[in-house]
Structure 1
């Protein structure tokens, strides 16, 4: 079948213009229109999110730092493996999957009722093209395919894909869940997107998108007739928008706004969703010294940091990057010891004349607050810290991973995904310069272990070692916070990719 675009994407001159097109009446779709899926008013559900990394992107396979991009692309495109409301792997384009005994080959059976917005059925050719694009852009997307060897994978028929891995990987479904977007075979231009997801694009602007319900989507979950996704350059601007009733959901608000809004709106908490770690590069002075790293770790009052930065919407951290992962060990956070920290610094030749720059940005509200609080506490152990704040438009591309001492940010993801992106010698975003061949080998051994309990035990040992020897200080973990206006239901309280699922959200 020849592919002819039926998308009606258009430039926006303003949100009101697009809304007028969407709210002239309730659309009737293949599932019976508005009456068939709840009490939707026909007015768009308006969702706001921060555009922390600058310009929005349309390519679903490259670098995705913006929450607004994740929301929009997850609405437009199906993923090979989906996520359920708890964030666990669930059927997507693939209805089921099985692994070989050694976890080096995964056979995925594709559903036969998925259709792109132009009427063309989704087949294995579309899946293979999408995987090839993700593989080609792996340096940009943080190796989102994990261990998949696209060149060794195949599509024996229209509804079967056989994935080969570069090493045994018993955890592959969690790696792919919610992030491997499927686009039509041959697609390279995404300015007029054709997807098979729960919504179709009707209008697009730099900081906004209008979508309508896709009546041909295979899923049965309730969802609204019309959706508006707005990107905001700062959390403060987004908070003002929900207070003035310009949006119905504010994704990822700061704790101050959440606390102030609790009496008037519903505050959805996703426990331990975010981490704002302190990053010390092991290949840069003075943090190449184990004594300096230990001094920093025991020089922090972690309880005070959680209260200052997260206003109680969080928990104290023990330098575990993903404490909610099933493989996370039960570690105790280091207790603050100012005297020992001072002795360690002195022994490493760091005195009060030594000043280090701590780099941060306002991309996420916790980042500058954490930097200032950490600088003050480290000053009390004799380490002079100067906070340097960068433009959020350029921080992730020009500063992050490139300076000795910085503030990072990550949302919840499975630990193996985080480690592959961040902690291996080959990681695209090796935040702390951790280079350890034995760590790499043990990580590969863990993924090759089919028994889940044994695999988690090995991964737990790796996390313990990384916490003790590495340069990442996960001093605390903040709850993901969203503000929801009255009448809106179904916003997920699960961390991870479940947070960007807008199916199931009704009004």
Structure 2
């Protein structure tokens, strides 16, 4: 990935994620200038069935992509990752930054026809904040002391401290606004949101079909009559289905498949991603409790070799923070290049000169390069007497173990975000609700993340998150590997779809079939 690939995104995001963001525009730009007829049903090929339909607990990419099109959030990202209005048409902080007042849109309804108002927002935010809910974005609301709903279209967030990351954090589907009358049990079978599409039908392990929401609040109604996410377990088989006309859109992770698909009936659009590939280490488990063992692993890995082997060199070696505004320098880490001798020294300091074995989980099916990454890492680390004992799991089983922190190490592709707080605050702080997944925190990180939220000065925030990156690298919390691309394949009938750097499929709302 060229270093300047995100320059336009970075410039826009720098202006959009501060607490002072406010707007009264109608929402994300939806006009693409594309020609196409209204109606029609788009078929999207996916490799895995969503593991949940409850947005507050969705971590799997396939689940997030489906739910993004069913549910609405208070804020949204536009195609350049600017924070723009969603269900909140505007928001305004108080002078001291400790109150954020949101004005909600009028006339918004849920898929079941019930009205959306401030009661739903208050109930949703309070449930996300409740530990018993086990919402994966709970830590993103750690600054919220209380939520008030003074009238049907106003919500006031009372904060313990100014929170520059809050508007951006509200834009993820893990912060979806739910009806105050709905329950997790009900929504896992019958989703009910304010998004551009509604749930129509699900055939387990085969397909999920959405229908256009004719009451969608957006300035431009969805043009597609419906969208089917069809499960086809292999990316090459998805290409065949596109060539035969049975599938019109797919997002590929495997660059070799994308190269094979390009041409003829299929057009491939290559989009750099904020998501990152990593070997995640759980520093609370076994030998990984020892910093020297973790540093040995860090020094024994040639990240470029993993990138070249698993993804044909299609990407860029990365540090922890991939957001262009706050991007980490991968050279600023212990062993920026592979050093097996230094890895041996670290193992010796740990009293493990004869080697260690690390049980490592790998997802098969969620993204295409996972097993190749794991095998290359295993081969490299074996030369340093570090044995990765690989357990390859189907996507749902992997996610279950991952969320529970039930692993020593995990080969993973994690979604990135424009703001580092939303990206890592829930992982690497002692009170972060995904800290058992991260397996690492420290008083210094707690202090730095608190400082990063408390100021809206962009230069100050950049300096703070550079320190966060250094803390994570110097302690080998995880082994960050590389960022890569997604390859969006479309047939000639598809117009108006906009791929995004955060991997979102939200622009299905602007897509047409000619």
Q: With structure 1 as the length reference, what TM-score do the two structures score?
A: 0.84
Aligned length: 467
User: How far apart are the structure 2 equivalents of 1:316 and 1:327?
Assistant: 16
Once the two structures are TM-superposed, the CA of residue 138 in structure 1 deviates from its matched residue by 6.9
Question: What's the counterpart of residue 242 of structure 2?
Answer: 242
Tell me the equivalent position of 2:433.
428
Q: CA deviation at 1:452?
A: 2.4
Q: 1:294-352: per-residue Cα shift (whole Å, max 9, x none)?
A: 222222222111111111221112x31x3124223334161122222233323433234
Q: Does 1:205 align with 2:207?
A: no
Contact 1:72 1:229 in 2 (8 A): no
Render the CA deviation track for 1:374-425: whole Å, top value 9, x for unaligned: 1111122232333222333312213563222221221222321121221111
Contact 1:79/1:92 (<8 A) preserved: yes
Instruction: Report if aligned partners of 2:224, 2:512 keep a CA contact under 8 Å in 1.
Output: no
Q: Which residue of 1 aligns with 2:284?
A: 283
Do structure 1's residue 384 and structure 2's residue 387 form an aligned pair?
yes
| 1:367 lines up with 2:366 in the alignment | no
Q: CA deviation at 1:440?
A: 0.4
Q: How far is the alpha carbon of 1:497 from its aligned partner?
A: 6.0
Contact 2:144 2:160 in 1 (8 A): no
Aligned equivalents of 1:496, 1:138: Cα separation in 2: 29
* Contact map agreement 2:224 2:511 (CA 8 A) in 1: no
Answering whether residue 159 of structure 2 is matched by residue 165 of structure 1, we say: yes
Residue 436 of structure 1: how far off its partner (Å): 0.6
Q: Does 1:133 align with 2:127?
A: yes
Are 2:361 and 2:409, in contact at CA under 8 Å, matched by a contact in 1? yes
RMSD (CA atoms): 2.7
The aligned counterpart of 1:216 is 215
The structure 1 residue matched to 2:41, chosen from 44, 69, 77, is 44
Following superposition, the deviation at residue 99 of structure 1 comes to 1.3
Aligned partner of residue 342 in structure 2, secondary structure? helix
Aligned counterparts of 1:421 and 1:247: Cα–Cα separation in 2: 37
Q: Using the alignment, how far apart are the partners of 1:92 and 1:304 within structure 2?
A: 42
Pair 1:501 & 2:507 matched: yes
Which residue of 1 is the match for residue 7 of structure 2?
none
Displacement of 1:181: 1.8
Task: Pick one of 400, 411, 421 that aligns with 1:407.
Answer: 411
Secondary structure at the aligned position of 2:284 is classed as: coil
Q: Of residues 79, 83, 98 in structure 2, which corresponds to 1:104?
A: 98
Rg comparison, structure with higher value = 1
In structure 2, the residue matched to 1:6 is: none
1:72–1:395 Cα change, 3 Å:
closer
Q: CA deviation at 1:372?
A: 0.5
Matches for 1:71-470 after TM superposition, within 5 Å: 71-136=65-130, 140-144=134-138, 146-147=140-141, 152-179=146-173, 180-188=175-183, 189-190=186-187, 191-206=189-204, 207-221=206-220, 223-232=222-231, 234-236=233-235, 238-264=238-264, 265-317=266-318, 319-320=319-320, 322-332=321-331, 334-352=336-354, 354-362=356-364, 363-398=366-401, 401-413=405-417, 414-430=419-435, 431-470=437-476
Structure 1 counterpart SS, 2:134: helix
In the alignment, is the contact (CA less than 8 A) between 2:54 and 2:191 conserved in 1? Answer: no
TM-score if structure 2 supplies the norm length? 0.83
What corresponds to 2:20 in structure 1?
none
Q: Work out whether residues 298 and 476 of structure 2, in 8 Å CA contact, stay in contact via their aligned partners in 1.
A: no
Is residue 145–residue 159 contact of structure 2 (8 Å, CA) maintained in 1?
no
Contact 2:276 2:322 in 1 (8 A): no
Shift of the alpha carbon at 1:457?
1.7
Q: Does 1:486 align with 2:492?
A: yes
Q: CA 1:254 to 1:160, structure 2 compared with 1: closer, same or farther past 3 Å?
A: same
1:148/1:50 Cα in 2 relative to 1: closer, same or farther (>3 Å)? farther
1:134, 1:145 within 8 Å by CA — same for their partners in 2?
no
Q: Deviations over 1:427-466 (max 9, x none)?
A: 2323342121221022112211122221222122111221
* TM superposition shift of 1:166: 4.1
Give, in whole Å, the separation in 1 of the partners of 2:129 and 2:211.
Answer: 31
C-alpha contact (below 8 Å) 2:276/2:413 kept by paired residues:
yes
Structure-2 separation of matches of 1:123 and 1:342: 60
Q: Aligned-pair distance for 1:158?
A: 1.1
